[in-house]
């Protein structure tokens, strides 16, 4: 079977796919159907933090598959209970709602914020302030909360009740919060928006505005969570906790799982029947997710993320001083961006031809989100590759 031809014929045409059919992965490498290997600096878009086919995860998945895959959330299961306990013990939160994806986790956050105020006699507070260039998902509610026109294009009318302000502009946010505002929703670092890191005091200022106005603070950590930035959660860098936080992507290292975390005060608005999902938090995926978290924290992987990220950005800064085409290097931990003054797609394709998979967002920003187990030698490899590619421009 020709994989690419079969996919193009039968799968909905919603992706502009790269001309690769990947069939196998191990560690930080993947192989295509022609046997060629690539060093993966995308990791499923910040998903495979422990790389591909991690032996301990394969063992955990196999063991759980022999016991119990799925039962309704009408019943208790040990893996789900253990994962919820681990997440709350290692975060600000008291309660967890499990979903299938980041979009579903964000959908739950939006619903919880609105319901919280209705349950507390303030039904007029339903509006949400989100950030321009944000990305929160592709359901109708989450794309309505997403501050990118290209994501919302073709789906008008989007859901009412969402206002947008510039990320990092505290004065604009202060003006946008009003008597009808129930929550401010933002990513601690904008990933799809171009790896945009907030100003030093921004999150503290946002928290202060939320506290003064009585609205909730929601962090979307779908891309930044699970060690990507060098902390288990990106909010830990600032020490400014939210009321609600969402996770997905790396939580399952490739298995579909999302989670919404909240304080007891806010989570109490969710009562039986208020929200639900069939596949959220199955024994299969929660057993693997728990193992993912334990490996990241207990095996010292988390401790190496910031030093590796610093090393990577330092190498990119050297390329920046050599090639004017690179205008800015930014990021935190192993979520790294390089803003170019030219389109990034040709650079992505040239790196692919040389055996490195990287990504481009916002047309001109190279994004790197490799597995957290990436080695310095592999980082040197992609830097050498970029050096070679930029010489041809």
- Per-residue pLDDT reduced to its tens digit, 286-333: 999 999 999 999 999 999 999 999 999 999 999 999 999 999 999 999
Give the mean pLDDT of 371-380: 98
- In this structure, the answer to whether residues 91 and 223 fall within a common structural domain is yes
Please tell me the total count of domains within the chain.
2
- In this structure, the answer to whether residues 116 and 181 fall within a common structural domain is yes
Does residue 88 contact residue 245 with C-beta atoms inside 8 Å? no
End-to-end CA distance of the chain: 37
Residue from 210, 186, 181, 209 nearest 198 by CA:
186
Pairing of strands 37-40, 29-32: antiparallel
- In this structure, the answer to whether residues 211 and 91 fall within a common structural domain is yes
- Per-residue pLDDT reduced to its tens digit, 258-286: 999 999 999 999 999 999 999 999 999 99
**What CA–CA distance (Å, rounded) separates 170 from 164?**
12
Say yes or no to pLDDT of 36 above 90.
Answer: yes
Give the mean pLDDT of 12-20: 94
Does residue 258 contact residue 246 with C-beta atoms inside 8 Å? yes
Could you tell me the CATH number of the domain that includes residue 311? 3.90.1150.10
Give the mean pLDDT of 384-390: 98
Contacts of 253 (CB under 8 A, 6+ apart): 47, 48, 49, 50, 54, 57, 288, 289, 292
Residue 257's SS3 state is coil
Kindly name the residue from 97, 135, 270, 368 that is annotated as catalytic: 135
pLDDT of residue 191: 96
Kindly name the residue from 249, 291, 308, 332 that is annotated as catalytic: 249
pLDDT bin (cut points 50, 70, 90) of residue 243 is: very high
- Per-residue pLDDT reduced to its tens digit, 333-371: 999 999 999 999 999 999 999 999 999 999 999 999 999
- In this structure, the answer to whether residues 250 and 377 fall within a common structural domain is no
Q: What is the DSSP string of 200-214?
A: TTHHHHHHHHHHHHT
Residue 220 annotated to the active site: yes
**What CA–CA distance (Å, rounded) separates 108 from 322?**
46
**What CA–CA distance (Å, rounded) separates 223 from 205?**
22
**Helix, strand and coil percent figures for the chain, each rounded to 5:** 40, 20, 40
Pairing of strands 365-368, 359-361: antiparallel
Domain of residue 198 covers: 57-298
Share of the chain above pLDDT 70, in %: 100
Last residue of a domain, one of 281, 298, 315: 298
Contacts of 35 (CB under 8 A, 6+ apart): none
Q: How far is CA 370 from CA 7, 35, 37, 188, 227, in A?
A: 26, 21, 15, 19, 12
pLDDT of residue 297: 96
Residue 75 annotated to the active site: no
pLDDT of residue 286: 98
- Per-residue pLDDT reduced to its tens digit, 133-190: 999 999 999 999 999 999 999 999 999 999 999 999 999 999 999 999 999 999 999 9
- In this structure, the answer to whether residues 28 and 173 fall within a common structural domain is no
* DSSP designation for 9: H
- In this structure, the answer to whether residues 308 and 222 fall within a common structural domain is no
- In this structure, the answer to whether residues 148 and 81 fall within a common structural domain is yes
Query: Rounded to the nearest 5°, which phi and psi values hold at 210?
Result: -65, -45
- Per-residue pLDDT reduced to its tens digit, 207-240: 999 999 999 999 999 999 999 999 999 999 999 9
pLDDT bin (cut points 50, 70, 90) of residue 393 is: confident
- In this structure, the answer to whether residues 147 and 194 fall within a common structural domain is yes
Kindly name the residue from 220, 231, 270, 312 that is annotated as catalytic: 220
pLDDT of residue 1: 84
Tokens read off for 1:
């079977």
pLDDT of residue 213: 97
Could you tell me the CATH number of the domain that includes residue 127? 3.40.640.10
Residue 68's SS3 state is coil
For the chain, how many helices (H) and strands (E)?
A: 14, 15
pLDDT of residue 225: 97
- In this structure, the answer to whether residues 46 and 76 fall within a common structural domain is no
Give the mean pLDDT of 243-249: 98
Contacts of 79 (CB under 8 A, 6+ apart): 64, 283, 286, 287, 290
pLDDT bin (cut points 50, 70, 90) of residue 114 is: very high
- In this structure, the answer to whether residues 144 and 266 fall within a common structural domain is yes
Report cis status (omega within 30 of 0) of the bond before 157: yes
Pairing of strands 335-340, 365-368: antiparallel
Say yes or no to pLDDT of 73 above 90.
Answer: yes
pLDDT of residue 79: 98
Last residue of a domain, one of 267, 298, 329: 298
- In this structure, the answer to whether residues 66 and 126 fall within a common structural domain is yes
Last residue of a domain, one of 265, 298, 331: 298
- In this structure, the answer to whether residues 166 and 308 fall within a common structural domain is no
């Amino acid at each position: 079977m020709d994989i690419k031809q079969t996919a193009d014929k039968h799968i909905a045409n919603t992706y502009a796919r790269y001309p690769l059919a990947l069939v196998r992965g191990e560690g930080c490498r993947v192989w295509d159907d022609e046997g060629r290997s690539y060093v993966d600096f995308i990791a499923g878009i910040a998903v495979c933090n422990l790389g591909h086919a991690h032996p301990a995860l394969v063992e955990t998945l196999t063991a759980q598959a022999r016991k119990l895959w799925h039962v309704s959330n009408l019943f208790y299961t040990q893996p789900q209970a253990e994962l919820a306990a681990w997440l709350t013990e290692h975060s600000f939160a008291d309660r967890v709602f499990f979903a299938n994806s980041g979009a579903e986790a964000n959908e739950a956050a939006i619903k919880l914020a609105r319901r919280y105020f209705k349950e507390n006699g303030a039904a007029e507070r339903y509006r949400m302030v989100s950030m321009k260039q944000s990305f929160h998902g592709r359901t109708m509610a989450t794309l309505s909360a997403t501050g990118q026109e290209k994501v919302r294009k073709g789906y008008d009318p989007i859901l009412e009740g969402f206002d947008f302000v510039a990320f990092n502009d505290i004065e604009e946010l202060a003006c946008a919060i009003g008597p009808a505002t129930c929550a401010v929703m933002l990513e601690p670092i904008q990933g799809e928006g171009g790896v945009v890191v907030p100003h030093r005091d921004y999150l503290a200022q946002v928290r202060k505005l939320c506290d003064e106005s009585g609205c909730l603070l929601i962090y979307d950590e779908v891309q930044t969570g699970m060690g990507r930035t060098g902390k288990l959660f990106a909010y830990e860098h600032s020490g400014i906790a939210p009321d609600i936080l969402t996770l997905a992507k790396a939580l399952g290292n490739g298995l579909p799982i999302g989670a919404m975390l909240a304080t007891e005060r806010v989570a109490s608005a969710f009562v039986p029947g208020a929200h639900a999902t069939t596949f959220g938090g199955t024994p299969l995926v929660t057993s693997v997710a728990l193992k993912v978290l334990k490996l990241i924290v207990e095996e010292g992987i988390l401790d190496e993320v910031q030093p590796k990220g610093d090393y990577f950005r330092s190498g990119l800064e050297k390329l920046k001083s050599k090639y004017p085409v690179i205008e800015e290097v930014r990021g935190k931990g192993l979520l790294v961006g390089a803003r170019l003054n030219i389109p990034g797609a040709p650079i992505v394709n040239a790196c692919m031809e040389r055996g490195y998979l990287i990504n481009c967002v916002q047309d001109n920003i190279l994004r790197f989100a490799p597995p957290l187990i990436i080695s310095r030698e592999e980082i040197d490899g992609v830097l050498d590759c970029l050096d070679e590619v930029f010489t041809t421009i």
